[in-house]
Structure 1
Amino acid sequence: MSPEDFVRTHTAVARASIVPEIALHLASEITPIWQATEEWLKERNIEPPFWAFAWPGGQATARLLLDEPARVAGKRVLDFAAGCGIAAIAAAKSGAALVEAAEIDPLALAAVRLNATLNGVSVATPEGDIVGAPCRWDVILAGDVCYEAPMTAHILPWLRGMAATGADVLLADPGRAYLPREGLEPLSRHAVPTTLELEDRTLREVTLFRLLP
C-alpha cells in the first residue's frame, strides 16, 4: 500500500471548523489511525499521526491567510511542519507564487499532496528535514511547533535566522509550554474549537505572532 493509499483508506474528507473553504483527508479519532500507522510501518512507539488532524495552529494560520491574502499573494511560501497542509493550501488559494510544505513524515507529505489536489492547488513537498537550509522563501508559516522542548530547540534558531535574512516568519501558538517568551510580535488571535480527543479543552485560543530576528 502506498502512502497515498494509506491516507485515503484511514481518513474521510472533512472540513476544519474555522476554515470551511478547505477540504481535507482527516481522521476522526487518534487511537485507530495511530494503531494502523504502527501496523503499516511495522514499528512501535512512533510519533502520533499529526498529519491526520487540522490542529488549532494550522487552522488559525489558514484563516488569517484567507482573510488577508495580501500577506502571501505573489510570494514564495514555506509551510514548516505542515501536518495536513491546511496552511499551505490556504497560501496557495490566496495567490502565493510558490508554496512548499515541509514534513519529515512521508505519510504527512502524502496527505499534503492529496489535500492539495482535493482543493485544486499546487503545493511542493520536499523530503527530509529542511532545518538548516538557506532561505529561499518570502514567508514561512509555522503552526503549533513549540509543543516539546527538543523540537523547539531544534527549530527556533533556524527560524530566527530565516527572519534575520528578511523572511516574514509567522508563528501560530495555542498556548504550548515551550513558546519563546520574547522576540514575538502579536498579529491576530483566533478561537478554535477542538475536541478532548486531541486537547485538554474544547476551545483553544491561538495567537499568530511574527517571529523577530
Structure 2
Amino acid sequence: MKRPGMLQPDPAVFIRANLPISTVPSIPEICLHTAGPASGLWRLAGRGEADPPPYWAYPWAGGAVLARHLLDRPEMVTGRRVHDLGAGSGLVAIAAAKAGAATVTAIDIDANAIAAIGLNAAINGVNIVALAADIIEDQPPATDLLVVGDLFYDPSLALRVMAFLRRCQASGVEVLIGDPERAHLPQGELNRIATHSVADFGGSTGGGAVQAGVFALSGKVEGEIMPGGQAATA
C-alpha cells in the first residue's frame, strides 16, 4: 500500500541508478535493468519493504520462454505487427523487435514498467511503443500477433485474459502465450508448440531454471459441451 506523504522518485532516474544492466539468463542477446537485493524497489513503488516486488523488475519464465522462442524462430514475427500484453520489463517486446517485427507495442498497467520498457529498449537498440493501459476489456488491437507472458498467476485475471484472447483470435489476431504452467493456466484450451528451459524469478526456484512452454489457443473452451453431450476438458 502506498505510504501517504512519500515523495515518489522519477522512475527512469531511479531505475538507472538502482537497477544494474545485466544479461538475461538463457537469452544472452538481451540485456535488462534488473533488480537486486540492494535496489530498494519499495521506494519507487511508494510501498513498504515487505511488499512483493513488481513484475517488471525481473525476467519471469513466461516472458523468457516467449523471448527465447521468437529469437529462435524470427519468421514468426518478421515484418509483422506485434503487441506484448502485460509487458513488464519489455523482454518479449524487445525480442520481437530484434527478430524483425515491423512494429512492436508493449502494454502494461504499471507506469513504472513503462519507464523500464523505454530504458530497456534503448540499451538493446530497438524501437518500441510503450503504452500504460488496461486493454483486456476493450476491442482487440490492430495487430498481427499478440504475445502474453506470465498473466495466469491469479484466477480472476486468468479468466479475463482468456476472454480477451478469444476475442483477439476471433478477430484474426494470432496469440502466443508463455507460461511455466502456473496453477491458473487453462491448459485444456491451449496447444503447446514449444518448451524451453529458462530462469524463473517469480517461482519457488528463486531464479533457477524451469521448463516453460509456448502455447497457442486451441479451438475448444474448457467446460464447453461437445457433440454427444461430453464436456471439453483437459
Above 0.5 in TM-score?
yes
- Cross-structure match for 1:11: 19
Q: Does 1:36 align with 2:43?
A: yes
| Aligned equivalents of 2:51, 2:86: Cα separation in 1 | 17
| Aligned equivalents of 2:50, 2:162: Cα separation in 1 | 26
Judge conservation of contact 1:79–1:99 (CA < 8 Å) in 2.
yes
Alignment size in residue pairs: 208
| Aligned equivalents of 1:211, 1:145: Cα separation in 2 | 15
| Aligned equivalents of 1:160, 1:33: Cα separation in 2 | 39
Rate the CA distance shift 1:164–1:104 in 2: closer, same or farther, 3 A: same
Map Cα deviations across residues 126-173 of structure 1 (whole Å, 9 max, x no partner): 222121233311001101110111211221100111011111100111
Q: Which runs of 5+ in 1 are unaligned?
A: none
Q: How does 1:46-65 map to 2 (within 5 A)?
A: 48-65=53-70
Judge conservation of contact 1:33–1:49 (CA < 8 Å) in 2.
no
| Aligned equivalents of 2:152, 2:47: Cα separation in 1 | 29
Q: Does 1:99 align with 2:104?
A: yes
TM-score (norm 2): 0.82
| AA at the equivalent of 1:152 | A
| Aligned equivalents of 1:139, 1:87: Cα separation in 2 | 12
Q: Does 1:76 align with 2:84?
A: no
Larger radius of gyration: 2
Shift in Å, 1:94? 0.8
**Aligned counterpart in structure 1 of residue 32 of structure 2, from 24, 31, 35:** 24
- Cross-structure match for 1:158: 164
Rate the CA distance shift 1:178–1:46 in 2: closer, same or farther, 3 A: same
| AA at the equivalent of 1:36 | R
More displaced stretch, 45-54 vs 154-163: 45-54
Judge conservation of contact 1:135–1:165 (CA < 8 Å) in 2.
no
- Cross-structure match for 1:186: 192
| Aligned equivalents of 2:56, 2:181: Cα separation in 1 | 20
- Cross-structure match for 1:89: 94
Map Cα deviations across residues 97-120 of structure 1 (whole Å, 9 max, x no partner): 110000000000000010001111
Q: Which runs of 5+ in 2 are unaligned?
A: 1-8, 220-234
More displaced stretch, 84-93 vs 184-193: 184-193
Rate the CA distance shift 1:150–1:32 in 2: closer, same or farther, 3 A: farther
Larger relative helix fraction: 1
| 3-state SS in 2 of match to 1:126 | strand
- Cross-structure match for 2:121: 116
Judge conservation of contact 2:19–2:39 (CA < 8 Å) in 1.
no
Judge conservation of contact 2:71–2:95 (CA < 8 Å) in 1.
yes
| 3-state SS in 2 of match to 1:129 | coil
| AA at the equivalent of 1:170 | L
Shift in Å, 1:174? 0.4
